[in-house]
Amino acid sequence: MLRSTSCMLVCVICGWGVHAHALQRLPHVRFAHSSSAMHPSATAPCSGNAAQNHVPRTSLKHTRCCEASLPALDTHRVDIRFILGYLWPHGGKALARLRVLASLVLLIAAKLYVVRVPFLFKHAIDSLGRAPLRNAAGWLFAYGFSRSVYTLLQEGRYLLFTPVGQSALRRFMRDSFAHVQSLDSMWLSSQSTGELSRVFARGMRGMNALLRLLLFNVLPTALEAVLAIMMLGTRYGSGFLLTSLITVLSFVTWTLFIVQRRVQLLARVNENDNAIFIKFFNSLLNNEAVRINVNERYEVGQYDGLLSRAEGLAINDVQTVSVLNAGQALIYWTGLGVIMSLCARGVVRGALTLGDAVAINGLLLQLHSPLTALGYTYQEIRQALTDMRQLLELLRRRPRVVSVPRAAELHVRRGDIEFEDVSFGYTTAGGNLRNVSFTAPAGLKTAIVGSSGSGKSTVLKMILRLHDPDSGRVLIDGEDIRLVSLNSLRREVALIPQDTILFDDSIMHNIRYGNLSAPEAFALEVAERVGLNVTAHSLPDGYNTRVGERGMGLSGGERQRVAIARALLAQPSLVLCDEPTSALDSLTETTVQQVLDDSFRGRTSVVVAHKLRSVLDADQILVMRDGQLVEQGSHLSLLCSPNSTYSRMWAQQTAGAEDALDDLNDYCELLDGSGLARMSLNAAQNALDLRTLEGEWLW
């Protein structure tokens, strides 16, 4: 029976984790404790297309995982072992483990001590009716001193355990942040930044509360309750044992019954809380759009609707807690009344002394506060688990793109980039690649053009290995990039994106982010080459000026210059540009384009462009349409191809181009194939009427 009591009380501690063994320990996020934790072997392999990719299955089986194989994490069955595992540090941290063991020893000693304290008071009461009275004084002094000793044991446990708990919290949040950094960019870009921030904040709060409540509230209370019931049973018989046992079991059962029904309410509270936060965040982020469209009242109304729902949920929550507290009080005080009636009967019969009655009452009153708090504690634990649910689900998500076991380092020798029959599909429409094959020769400039959604930017993401092909291969110098480490690949490649997002930090920090170890003098030189020195000198703090959230303190052109400077600072072997000068004015575009050409001359570059005039000097141009490579050649050869996609794109982008194209077609007919192949772009432009070419075609 005592064992049943213990089991029931333990259910208060981990009743939500009774089925925890059904879950995995999430080993793939424990990379802080194991050098192989971020290792692909920690992820489940997918059946897939390794054979189609002409790469051994043993090499690529870990590069992409099947998320469908991961069970959904349930709030009721959180793996407590995984969470508490952070309290037992790995890696031979003997001092931390010693602190944990010492804390447990002090806990047990304190509870063994405190259940005996009321019986010191019993001896004092019994001694008051007998001489000499100094015996009673001695017992009373011992009683008071024992309370002090108990307090010292408690505080000693707090002092020992606090560093361990804080270290566990720090490692858990560090591992969580590092895990999110490893997730694939396609998934991250589909998530709300505000919601992810909220998930992390709540997860940290939940982890902190869970460790504190389990170790400083639940476990001590459960241990004290079991010891108190055992003490009553061994000293006063089965009647006291059964009554106290029924009281405690009824108390725990009522608490579980009500709190289980409160869990869904807490989940709705959290969901609405997230919606309030996201609404506030998005409204401020898009405040200009709100004002321009005169939608302030609409935004306030939407926000107030969420607040109204939160108001109703808060009222329901208070009502539920009131019912819980009333039931707990009724059960506990009724049980205490029955036990004290048994005491009175024992005193009348002479089986018990008045001191026994006082001791039993003191023992039960001593248990009342922590046991009553246990109901509140259990609610807080369920709230903590609810807070942690989304973060733990996030930790269960595995990255799609990882390095293979024992991946080699990439060392670019020439810089050839080759696509071999590459196909790839997003989960959403657009941007798919279908059987794309081409070679970007070393040291030359390859441009990719096409309509929106044709797959241009996807090609760049494939080279950076932000995505892996569904079939086919991407090679650098003949080596499949899936067989080299991700870090070594991305160190060799620099990307200048179309929309540059900066950190809310200084201009210099954002420039140096491309190479944090680069000397400041080199960073200043690079900044001057792209014209950022003019911007910096016009600001009061110069390069130390903070750029604001997402870099919105700078203009679009200035943010683009920072991105170019960052790429220059990295000194990559391969350069990828996604509309690198799209946000610049015509004069600045010419200057920056010249800087790019001078800085990356002799290096392999792949440039995605919408403005065809920006890639006239490309050594080859690839034309994409609906995820397929439909045309390939130089600017002039593509223009001279009858009814080519490229020539139609050129006509659409130029004013009065029909006559100019007719003249160009006539001119091309005069050239034989070999002559056209040998003719450079500059020679061709000299042969044409430059006034027509520049005035009518190039705006």
CA 469 to each of CA 65, 187, 432, 447, 624: distance values in angstroms, whole numbers, following the listed order = 13, 16, 10, 21, 17
- Residue 542: burial class (beta carbons within 10 Å; 0-12, 13-18, 19+): middle
Asked if pLDDT for residue 629 goes beyond 90, the answer is yes
pLDDT digits 0-9 by tens, 427-451: 655 458 999 999 999 999 999 999 8
Q: Which of 150-154, 260-264, 348-352, 633-637 has the least mean pLDDT?
A: 260-264
Asked whether the predicted pLDDT for residue 327 surpasses 80, the reply is: yes
Higher-pLDDT residue of 657 and 393 is: 393
Q: What is the pLDDT of residues 107-140, one digit of tens each?
A: 888 888 888 888 888 888 888 766 566 677 888 8
The answer to whether 76 and 57 have CB atoms below 8 angstroms apart is no
How many angstroms separate the CA atoms of 650 and 9, rounded?
77
Q: Can you give the pLDDT at residue 182?
A: 83
What's the confidence (pLDDT) of residue 623? 95
The answer to whether residue 480 scores a pLDDT higher than 90 is yes
pLDDT in tens, 524-582: 998 888 888 888 888 888 889 898 877 778 887 788 888 888 888 888 899 999 887 76
Q: Which of 151-165, 304-318, 525-539, 662-676 has the lowest mean pLDDT?
A: 662-676
Amino acid in position 407: A
Candidate from 75-79, 84-88, 163-167 with smallest mean pLDDT: 75-79
Residue 132 confidence (pLDDT)? 64
pLDDT-based confidence at residue 382 (cuts at 50, 70, 90): confident
C-alpha atoms less than 13 angstroms from C-alpha of 200 in its C-beta half-sphere: 15
What does the pLDDT look like over 186-230, one tens digit per residue? 777 777 777 788 788 888 888 888 888 877 888 888 888 888 888
Which alpha helices (H) appear in 538-585, and where do they start and end? 556-570
Spacing of C-alpha 16 from chain mean position: 24
Does residue 421 surpass a pLDDT of 90?
Answer: yes
Q: Which domains does the chain have, with CATH numbers?
A: 2-26+79-396 (1.20.1560.10), 417-633 (3.40.50.300), 636-699 (no CATH)
214: Cβ contacts below 8 Å, ≥ 6 apart: 13, 84, 381
Amino acid at 138: G
Q: CA 327, CA 247: separation in Å to the nearest integer?
A: 12
Where residue 589 falls (left for φ over 0; alpha for ψ -120 to 50; beta otherwise) is alpha
- Answer yes or no: is pLDDT of 420 > 90: yes
At residue 338, what is the residue type? V
Lowest mean pLDDT among 314-318, 463-467, 599-603, 673-677: 673-677
Q: Up-side HSE of residue 663: CA atoms within 13 Å toward CB? A: 13
CB 697 within 8 A of CB 657: yes
The pLDDT score that the predictor gives to residue 10 is 41
pLDDT in tens, 23-79: 333 333 333 333 333 333 333 333 333 333 444 333 443 333 333 333 333 444 456
DSSP annotation string for 174-186: HHHHHHHHHS-HH
Residue 325 burial by Cβ neighbours in a 10 Å radius (0-12, 13-18, 19+): middle
